[in-house]
Amino acid sequence: MATANDVIKIAKDEVGYLEKTSNANLYSKTANAGKNNYTKYAYEFDTKYSGFYNGKKNGFAWCDMFVDWCFVMAFGVEKAKKLLCQPSKSCGAGCKWSRNYYKEKGQLHTSPKVGDQIFFYGSKKSDIAHTGLVYDVDKSYVYTIEGNTSSKSGVVANGGCVAKKKYKLSYSRIAGYGRPKYDEEVKESCEVTVETLKKGCEGANVKALQILLIGYGYDCGKHGADGDFGADTDKAVRDYQGKNELTVDGVVGKNTWNKLLGGM
């Protein structure tokens, strides 16, 4: 079974890795540290997994290669490509291309979830400059593991190491979250116990409702699927009901649940 925890564990084990000045000591975390973008991640894509990308990548910016490598280590090449929404010989070593692959599959979201691939704008919003992996989310922050960054606050798009970072959920340079379809998500959806929900409700079923709404493109507020049926979730429910010929009352009863679950 492919779970978010599988890839997060791989990424955490890499924290502290430094890029190299040459192809020497690629498998040491700290030896031969430099600024020439040589890494074991790109080296393995060039040698063990040639054909994953559209050409050789060692010596190039590697934040996206780090994320892709973690997926390959956790799931193998074919499963990794499927989860990352990437074709063979992809351009996915580039952040802009990688983000677009998720977008084309309808898997780019505005609110974070553990296991997402986070993307960041560059100096202007037409430029996608950096990426990482989400390992935790709370009501204020999204927590990430990133390659080619540093421990300095904010986006560091060429920092040379693997590091843990955090950002406010409202951080203006966040350019969305690519969401792999992990096997665990299918299981969670099948295990939802249906109950009538409305504004003021809290708990696991509200969170399940919010995950469904977000999947349909609705905004449940800056905290995303937090299990709190507040004003933003109420608005999303009413919008969904109105567009699906349901009674627009903000109450998620049998008919609204059936429509939401039937469209999955």
- Residue among 226, 49, 71, 44 at smallest CA distance from 145: 71
**What is the model's pLDDT at position 184?**
61
**What is the model's pLDDT at position 161?**
96
Taking only the tens place, the pLDDT of each residue in 41-82 is 999 999 999 999 999 999 999 999 999 999 999 999 999 999
- What is the phi/psi pair of residue 122, to 5°? -85, -145
CA 12 to chain centre: 15
Taking only the tens place, the pLDDT of each residue in 213-264 is 998 899 998 888 998 999 999 999 999 999 999 999 999 998 899 888 875 4
Residue 191, pLDDT above cutoff 70: no
Q: Exposed, middle or buried, 59 (CB in 10 Å: 0-12/13-18/19+)? A: middle
For 131, the enclosing helix (H) or strand (E) is strand 128-137
Does domain 192-262 match CATH 1.10.101.10?
yes
**What is the model's pLDDT at position 186?**
45
Beta-carbon contacts of 164 under 8 Å, excluding residues fewer than 6 positions away, are 15, 135, 143, 144, 145, 151
Q: What is the pTM of this model?
A: 0.71
Taking only the tens place, the pLDDT of each residue in 104-156 is 999 999 999 999 999 999 988 779 999 999 999 998 999 999 999 998 988 98
Average pLDDT, the chain: 91
Q: How many whole angstroms separate alpha carbon 99 and alpha carbon 46?
A: 22
Residue ranges of the domains in the chain? Answer: 4-178, 192-262
